[in-house]
Amino acid sequence: MISRLRYTLREMWASLSRNLTLTVAAVITSMVSLFLFGITLLIQQAFDNQLSQWTGGVQMVVYVNHDAQPEAVATIKEALESRPELIKNVEYCAVDCSLAQAKKLFAADPESLKFLSEENVPSYFAVEPVDKNQIQQLLSIRDSFTKLPGVYKVAFPSDQIAVLGKLKSFFGVRTYVMSGVLLFASILLIWNTIRTAMFARRREIEVMKLVGATNWFIRLPFMLEGLLQGLAGAVFGSALLLLGNADWTSGVRKFPTNAGLGGFVVTDGYPIKVVFFMVLLGAFVGAVGSATAASRFLDV
């Protein structure tokens, strides 16, 4: 068993070093394709984060008229709470609460801060819908509440959400297609590397078959070679992804917090999950490419 393992590893290493140019090409292609795949997942997650930032917390704000009586405010609250199928949570922010929020928002802008007072800051209801992603449903809620007495206006970031949704879909489709094409190219390149390696060693394979080596014994070093190429591509691609993500994160954090870009930072262990998936995918790409070649070209 140990002698077989030693033989397999030795032959795999010898083949890798003999076939260096093709090996490097296969590793680079796997690296680029897996990096692109990983970055696609991160971009998708970044859009999800950003969308949930828009749609989470305050999804819709119902501003109340300055002159609205407490009865009108109570009617608005009652109307909002009477739609539990559409509205999950309602929080009232009176004028003093609203003023405190506004002061936080304009903390970096002393000129605007000067003009803030209880007279020009409206009280409002922060409304959280049941389904945050159904923009049409949210728009219908907005329209029905705009007509309520005492309501000044209903603000809802529908345009921003729609743009972000479209961008997510645009990037998602294109980057998934590109990474899919590149992953296929990686499989082909690994397949070709193994084919070349087997052709270079056709005499050895012939002798091995004649002296009674099993097909699995002959195939195994070639299959491990392909597996290693896929894994190496995944490891380098993952390192590139983590470095790129760290660079992006530090770049985004230099922007002011109210710039609205905070959601585009992907942290909380998600990049590590992506890396784990990339390594699995790299191993799969290497194994598929080499196993098909090793089976197809055994009769050299």
Q: CA–CA distance from 223 to each of 60, 187, 188, 204, 229 (Å)? A: 56, 12, 14, 16, 10
Please identify which residue in 120, 214, 257, 267 interacts with other proteins, judged by CB under 8 A. 214
Please identify which residue in 91, 206, 247, 268 interacts with other proteins, judged by CB under 8 A. 206
Output the DSSP codes for 76-88.
Answer: HHHHHHT-TTTEE
Of 20 and 259, which CB lies nearer to other proteins in the complex structure? Answer: 20
Spell out the residues 6+ positions from residue 151 whose beta carbon is closer than 8 angstroms to its own. 62, 63, 64, 65, 76, 145
Q: Of the listed pieces 105-113, 198-206, 248-256, 276-284, which binds other proteins according to CB under 8 A?
A: 198-206
DSSP strand pairing (151-155 vs 87-93): unpaired
Please identify which residue in 160, 192, 215, 292 interacts with other proteins, judged by CB under 8 A. 215
Please identify which residue in 104, 114, 147, 203 interacts with other proteins, judged by CB under 8 A. 203
Instruction: Find the shortest distance in angstroms from Cβ 209 to other proteins.
Output: 7
Element housing 183 (H / E): helix 158-200
Write out the two tokens for 24.
Answer: 């490097």
Of 114 and 203, which CB lies nearer to other proteins in the complex structure? Answer: 203
Q: What is the chain's length?
A: 300
Residue 209 is a binding residue for other proteins (CB under 8 A): yes
The span from the CA of 245 to the CA of 239, in Å, is: 10
Q: Of the listed pieces 79-87, 100-108, 208-216, 259-267, which binds other proteins according to CB under 8 A?
A: 208-216
Instruction: Find the shortest distance in angstroms from Cβ 2 to other proteins.
Output: 8
Of 74 and 207, which CB lies nearer to other proteins in the complex structure? Answer: 207
Please identify which residue in 20, 21, 211, 269 interacts with other proteins, judged by CB under 8 A. 211
Residue 212 is a binding residue for other proteins (CB under 8 A): yes
What residue type is 282 in one-letter code?
A: G
216-255 binders of other proteins (CB under 8 A): 217-218
Residue 146 is a binding residue for other proteins (CB under 8 A): no
Residue 77 is a binding residue for other proteins (CB under 8 A): no
Of 207 and 243, which CB lies nearer to other proteins in the complex structure? Answer: 207
Q: Of the listed pieces 3-11, 113-121, 189-197, 278-286, which binds other proteins according to CB under 8 A?
A: 3-11
Nearest C-alpha neighbor of 63 from the set 147, 152, 137: 152
What residue type is 63 in one-letter code?
A: Y
The span from the CA of 180 to the CA of 244, in Å, is: 21
What residue type is 181 in one-letter code?
A: V
Binding to other proteins by CB under 8 A, coded x per residue (else -) over 7-26, reads x-------------------
Work out the number of other CB atoms within 10 angstroms of the CB of residue 84: 10
Q: CA–CA distance from 94 to each of 69, 75, 101, 127, 134 (Å)? A: 12, 15, 11, 14, 28
Element housing 214 (H / E): none
Of 3 and 136, which CB lies nearer to other proteins in the complex structure? Answer: 3
Instruction: Find the shortest distance in angstroms from Cβ 221 to other proteins.
Output: 11
DSSP 238: H
Interface residues toward other proteins, by CB under 8 A: 3-4, 7, 203-204, 206-215, 217-218
